[in-house]
Amino acid sequence: MNTEEQQIEQIKDFWQEHGKGIVAGLVIGFAIFYGWRYYGDHVRTEQEAASEQFEQVAAQLFAGDGLTEAQTFVTSSNSAYRHLAAMQLAKAAIDAGDYATAVSALQQVRDAGEPELAALAAIRQARVLLAQEQYDAAIEAATAATQVKAFAASAYELQGDILLAKGDYAGARQAYLAAQQQGADGLAELKLNSIVAGS
């Protein structure tokens, strides 16, 4: 058995050999723990601030004001709320007759990379462009939306509407048929039948 002095000496030797590593490990462990907590708090604070900004922008748009503030939020924010704000900005811009702002806001959502939201924005953008008789740009937007299965039927039907407005009856017929194949409601069939009967 070791005497008490030998045990103390062994502890001192161990501490001399491994003490710095133990202290460094504890410091690093605490730094990681508190750093992670700080980061989590920071992210939550940023998300809460973005949420509050979005609510303010949405309230202003709902009141019929705030197009400039909404545009600033959409272009400067990095939060997920910017896409929702862009969709609301587009609606408010359409209501105000500012179609260029609406098309631009919807394009920002399309460029965001989230397929479902981009497809919804593409369909809305195609409708705005159709109303402005910008048929080629409207076709491009509607075609982009056909890539997402959930929106394919609506997108093909909209393509048919655009082609019909453009005077391309054969193209409209094909688009309405594609809409039916994707599960469109009965309206696409009525539109298809009206082309067949009218041409």
Domain count, the chain: 1
pLDDT at 72: 67
For 198, counting Cβ atoms within 10 Å of its Cβ (0-12 exposed, 13-18 middle, 19+ buried), the class is exposed
Q: Domain limits at 89?
A: 3-198
pLDDT at 40: 81
148-167 average pLDDT score: 92
pLDDT surpasses 80 at 166 = yes
pLDDT at 63: 67
* pLDDT per residue as tens digits for the range 4-40: 888 888 888 888 888 888 888 888 888 888 888 888 8
CA 180, CA 177: separation in Å to the nearest integer?
5
CA 128, CA 29: separation in Å to the nearest integer?
56
pLDDT at 197: 56
* pLDDT per residue as tens digits for the range 139-153: 999 999 999 999 999
- pTM confidence score: 0.70
pLDDT at 96: 86
* pLDDT per residue as tens digits for the range 61-91: 676 676 667 766 677 667 777 888 888 888 8
CATH number (domain holding residue 43): 1.25.40.10
Q: For residues 97 and 63, is the Cβ–Cβ distance under 8 A? A: no
* pLDDT per residue as tens digits for the range 104-145: 989 988 988 688 989 999 999 999 999 999 999 999 999 999
Q: Which residues contact 193 (CB under 8 A, 6 or more apart)?
A: none
pLDDT at 134: 96
CA 131, CA 155: separation in Å to the nearest integer?
16
